[in-house]
Amino acid sequence: MSTLVKKVYGVGVGVGDEKLITLKALEVLKKVDKIFIPISKKGKRSIAYEIIKNHIDEKDVEELLFPMIKDKEKLKKYWETAVNKVINEKGEVAVITIGDPTLYSTFSYLWKILKEKNIDVEIVNGISSIFASASALGIPLVEGDEKLCILPQGKDIEKYINEFDTIIIMKTKNLKEKLEKIKDKDNYMIGLVKKATFKDEKTAFGRFEEINFDEFSDYLSLAIIKRIK
Amino acid sequence: MSTLVKKVYGVGVGVGDEKLITLKALEVLKKVDKIFIPISKKGKRSIAYEIIKNHIDEKDVEELLFPMIKDKEKLKKYWETAVNKVINEKGEVAVITIGDPTLYSTFSYLWKILKEKNIDVEIVNGISSIFASASALGIPLVEGDEKLCILPQGKDIEKYINEFDTIIIMKTKNLKEKLEKIKDKDNYMIGLVKKATFKDEKTAFGRFEEINFDEFSDYLSLAIIKRIK
């Protein structure tokens, strides 16, 4: 099957605040022939689309379904369906994503397949929730020669808390369980942020036992753990 | 001494491409009474200012000198001079920075002192070079459950290469020396990026011995090391 698409832009649209989109992202979204919007469930509101909808008018948009399932074989079929939709568009298209397309983004799966098919892909970077969350907490992520790590599921946090100045835990709905392992250590403070820059943003900063984790069980919550020196 | 300033914005202006600035950053830069521009040497061109200069017109701008020295006592004096300049401005001001203000930014030193003085600070996030560099290389930083770390001076890289999927080394002029420690390991690929999104951007991707490190001895170069699984 020959491909029709000329170029695919992977566009990061930033976080909740619709003004945290770049001029370049807007320029691309305005010029492309079609915008694809990844969704995790049919009928579910796309956050990425909410961010851009006031910036674009009467644009041809289409959803791409990427359910949040673990079965890789099943997932692969969804990716292939998505890729087929994308490559059979004429002209230039954009696939939007919240945050940045290079950091734990749905787009990376499409990107891999598009590269294998030698399709021209350009990434347009976006503001990541890791930075927006640090801003929401009012603390720098790292300064000077400090070391930082991102542990998606919090794996080995009890070990890395002694080696890294800042640890970010994201992509989990159960931050409490992941952070429980360090609760008896005395060398850290926990910052939690739910939906940074959204209207219902929530933050907390303190020790494990001081935090009401129920407020941060959202998939868009993340933890920034700072080691005390 | 009483302070005159009402609010200080720490504004990330992104990387080299002037279109990688956010709508929010532009809005803030347009409304503030003064824009402060950190420079490392008197008479030295400020990259952050180059990025914004076509976006703002006839704006009141002033430089803040932060020399690249290690002596903390001497540095502290420069920070204090800078803070005094900032807090003695009437109205709202912005301090601009390349990349994001929460990641190894000069702004974090000012931020700390401003917080101690109870001055209202708001961070406006920017596109970081770590994302722009991944885009330049055409690879995601991390996907799925992969772990990432940033080692500013490459410290302990020989250990972490076995534990992290992606290692970023930045803030050093000598990437070759830092990476030499892993040259005999067989489980990695090195991506190097100099001045991502600038007109003179340069990239390389390969094994240690395949790379011409002379082209990446700039302070704005960074390395993204991907573990092969």
Of the three residues A66, A91, A124, the one that is the final residue of a domain is A124
From CA A68, how far away is CA A91, in angstroms rounded? 30
Looking at residue B172, what is its pLDDT?
85
Nearest chain B residue to A106, by CA: B143
- Of B17, B18, B108, which has the smallest distance from its Cβ to A143's Cβ? B108
State the amino acid at position B96 in one-letter form.
I
Which of A15, A23, A139 to mutate to test binding with chain B, by most B CBs within 10 Å of its CB? A23
CB pairs under 8 A between A and B: 151
Whether B20 and B85 share a structural domain: yes
The whole-angstrom separation of Cα B100 and Cα A22 is: 13
- Looking at the fold, whether B61 and B119 belong to one and the same domain comes out as yes
- Mean pLDDT, to the nearest integer, of B158-175? 93
Residues B215 and B120 in one domain: no
3-state secondary structure (DSSP) of residue B146: coil
Q: How far apart are CA A138 and CA A191, in angstroms?
A: 10
- The CATH number of residue B86's host domain is 3.40.1010.10
| Res B59 pLDDT > 70 | yes
**Are A207 and A108 in a shared domain?**
no
**Going by DSSP bridges, is the β-strand pair A202-206/A188-194 parallel, antiparallel, or unpaired?**
antiparallel
Residue A2 clears pLDDT 80, i.e. is over it? no
Whether residues B57 and B85 fall in one domain: yes
In chain B, residues 160-199 whose CB comes closer than 8 Å to chain A: 163-164, 171
Residue B150 token pair: 């940033």
Q: Does B206 touch chain A (CB under 8 A)?
A: no
Smallest Cα distance from B163 to chain A, Å:
10
For residues B137 and B96, membership in a common domain is answered with no
Nearest Cβ partner for A153 among B103, B143, B145: B145
Of residues A2 and B150, more confidently modeled: B150
- Tell me how far apart the alpha carbons of residues B24 and B167 are, in angstroms, rounded to a whole number: 31
User: Helix H segments across A11-167?
Assistant: 23-31, 47-52, 72-87, 107-116, 129-137, 157-160
Q: Using one digit for the tens of pLDDT, what is the confidence trace for B82-105?
A: 999 999 999 999 999 999 999 999
Q: Are residues A142 and A206 in the same domain?
A: yes
Which has the closest alpha carbon to B133: B212, B209, B218, B67?
B218
pLDDT per position as a tens digit, A34-56:
999 999 999 888 999 999 999 98
Boundaries of domain holding B85: 5-124
Spatial distance between the Cα atoms of B193 and B220, rounded to a whole number of angstroms: 8
Whose tokens are 């892993």? That residue is B182
Same domain? B9 vs B119: yes
**Local confidence band at B45 (pLDDT 50, 70, 90 cut-offs):** confident
Instruction: Choose among B55, B13, B63: nearest CA to B35.
Output: B63
Pairing mode, if any, of strands A166-169 and A5-12? Answer: unpaired
**Does residue A1 register a pLDDT over 80?**
no
Domain ends where: A98, A124, A150? A124
Mean pLDDT rounded to a whole number for chain A: 94
pLDDT at A5: 96
Confidence of residue B124 (pLDDT cuts 50, 70, 90): very high
We report the CATH number of the domain holding residue A177 as 3.30.950.10
- Residues A180-202 as b/e (b if ≥16 CB within 10 A, e otherwise) read ebbeeeeebbbbbbbbbbbeebb
pLDDT tops 60 at residue B1:
no
- Quick one: average pLDDT of A66-80? 89
How far off is chain B from A9, nearest CA to CA, in Å?
Answer: 11
- What pLDDT, on the 0 to 100 scale, is given for residue A26? 97
- pLDDT tens-digit series, residues A152-204: 989 899 999 999 999 999 988 899 999 999 999 888 999 999 999 999 999 99
Q: Are residues A134 and A177 in the same domain?
A: yes
CA-based diameter of chain A, in Å? 60
pLDDT (average), residues A225-229: 91
Q: How many Cα atoms occupy the beta-carbon half-sphere of B62 within 13 Å?
A: 15
Q: Closest residue of B to A126, CA-based?
A: B127
Out of A124, A139, A166, pick the residue that ends a domain: A124
Query: Mutate which of B11, B17, B24 to disrupt the A interface (most A C-beta within 10 Å)?
Result: B24
Please answer whether residues A57 and A30 qualify as being in contact, where contact means their C-beta atoms are separated by less than 8 angstroms: no
| Interchain CB distance below 8 Å, A23 and B20 | yes
Instruction: Let me know whether B79 and B137 are in one domain.
Output: no
Q: Is residue A110 domain-shared with residue A138, that is, in the same domain?
A: no
The DSSP H or E segment spanning B81 is helix B72-87
Q: Report the amino acid identity of residue B158.
A: E
DSSP B9-42: EEEE-BSSSGGGSBHHHHHHHHHSSEEEEEESST
Residues 87-126 of B with CB under 8 A from A: 100-105, 108-109, 111, 115, 121-126
Given a cut of 90, is residue A219 above it in pLDDT? Answer: no
> Residue A116 and residue B169: Cα distance in Å, rounded?
28
Return d(Cα B46, Cα B53) in angstroms, integer.
Answer: 10
Return the pLDDT at A44. Answer: 85
For residues B119 and B147, membership in a common domain is answered with: no
Residues of A in contact with B108 (CB under 8 A): 140, 143
Instruction: Name every residue whose Cβ is closer than 8 Å to that of residue A108 and which is 6 or more positions away in sequence.
Output: A101, A102, B140, B143
| Total tally of structural domains belonging to chain A | 2
Distance in Å from the first CA to the final CA of chain A: 59
Q: pLDDT digit string (tens) for B2-36? A: 679 999 999 999 999 999 999 999 999 999 999 99
Mean pLDDT taken over chain B:
94
Residue range A123-133: mean pLDDT, rounded = 98
Q: Is the pLDDT score of B63 beyond 90?
A: yes
Q: What is the pLDDT of residues B182-203, one digit of tens each?
A: 999 888 999 999 999 999 999 9
